[in-house]
Structures are given as C-alpha cells and as structure tokens.
C-alpha cells in the first residue's frame, strides 16, 4: 500500500471509489454509507476533474499492490487551515487501517504547507463517524452548517446539518 497524490487520469477510479464508499448497495458493506440519508451521487467525474485545475486542492490516494485505488482524501488549503473532505475507503476494505493512514498523510501534508490546523464537516447524525474522528484528535467546534442546497453532493432524504470538526497539529 502506498499513499501518493492523485492525478487527473485517476478520475474514473476515484469517482467509482468515492460513490461506492458513500452511496448505493455496495456502500452498505462498509460503515461510512450515507445511502439511508441521501440519494444520488456523492461526486461525478466533471466535478472531480475540476479539482485538478485548482492549485489549492490536492487529492491523496491509497493504492494496493495491483495499482487499484482503495482510499482517497480531498485536501483544500483554506488559509490558515487545511480542509479535509471526501474521505473515502473501499467498503470492502474498511477497518483495515487505510483510513487511519490517509488521515496521517493529510496531517503530514498540512505540516509540509506550514498549516497547523485541519478542518472538516461531518453530517451531524453520523455519530459513529464523529466518534471515529474524535478518537483521532478532532473536536467539534460548535459551528453547524446547512447541507449543500444545490444537490450537487446528493439529494437529502431528511433534514441534514453538518458539524465542523477541527484538529490542531
């Protein structure tokens, strides 16, 4: 397993991975599924491609021995913090340490950029996920944001709020 920066030719694999981690039947084989609270896609190839044209955005990928992408994390410089998002691990490989390694790589990347705080948003009802991040040093800031109104990241089946979590490194 190795963690490296994703490149634009990775977009089809990233698209498949991210959507499988969050939506659809396959996502239910892991614990990060949002399929009970959101319909639609989590991301599309057009949006992913646009990320590679933004110098503030980096996507890290974890690949297996066969070169398949098994995990990824979206990182965006939002001075003075590094935003962590679209954190994805193949549902069939969750609980194997890939996620932990990706989060550590995100922290290393922040340090390389001289950023000492990471920030993320998490759906407020995802208690198991919030607990997982808390065990890795993230804390809720108390800030609550509405879910994306444009349905770009999915169609809510219920009212959804996002909590902001941060970690100082």
Q: Radius of gyration over alpha carbons of the chain, in Å?
A: 15
**CATH number of the domain located at residue range(s) 2-168 in this protein:** 3.40.630.30
**What pLDDT shows up at residue 66?**
94
Percent of the chain with pLDDT over 90: 72
pTM of the shown model: 0.92
pLDDT higher than threshold 80 for residue 30 = no
Residue 119 CA to residue 128 CA, distance in Å, equals 18
**For tokens 């108390």, what's the residue?**
142
- Residue-wise pLDDT for 139-158, tens only, equals 999 999 998 777 777 888 88
Residue 7 CA to residue 117 CA, distance in Å, equals 25
Segment 27-31 shows an average pLDDT of: 71
Q: Which carries the bigger pLDDT value, residue 29 or residue 83?
A: 83
**What pLDDT shows up at residue 23?**
79
Segment 29-57 shows an average pLDDT of: 86
Quick one: pLDDT band at residue 35, thresholds 50, 70, 90? confident
- Residue-wise pLDDT for 63-122, tens only, equals 999 999 999 999 999 999 999 999 999 988 888 899 999 999 999 999 999 999 999 999
- Listed by start position, the domains of the chain span 2-168
Query: What is the side-by-side strand order in the sheet with 69-78?
Result: 2-5, 57-63, 69-78, 81-89, 117-123, 161-168, 139-146
CB 21 within 8 Å of CB 89: yes
């Amino acid at each position: 397993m190795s963690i490296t920066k994703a490149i634009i030719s990775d977009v089809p694999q990233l698209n498949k991975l991210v959507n499988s981690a969050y939506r659809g039947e396959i996502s239910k084989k892991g614990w990060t599924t949002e399929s009970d609270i959101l319909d639609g896609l989590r991301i599309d190839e057009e949006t992913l491609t646009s990320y590679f044209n933004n110098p503030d955005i980096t996507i890290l990928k974890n690949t297996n021995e066969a070169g398949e992408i098994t995990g990824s994390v979206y990182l965006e410089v939002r001075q003075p913090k590094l935003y962590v998002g679209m954190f994805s691990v193949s549902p069939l490989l969750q609980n194997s340490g890939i996620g932990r390694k990706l989060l550590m790589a995100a922290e290393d990347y922040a340090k390389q950029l001289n950023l000492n705080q990471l920030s993320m948003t998490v759906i407020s009802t995802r208690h198991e996920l919030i607990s997982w991040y808390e065990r890795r040093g993230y804390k809720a800031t108390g800030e609550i944001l509405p879910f994306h109104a444009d349905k770009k990241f999915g169609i809510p089946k219920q009212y959804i709020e996002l909590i902001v979590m941060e970690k100082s490194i």
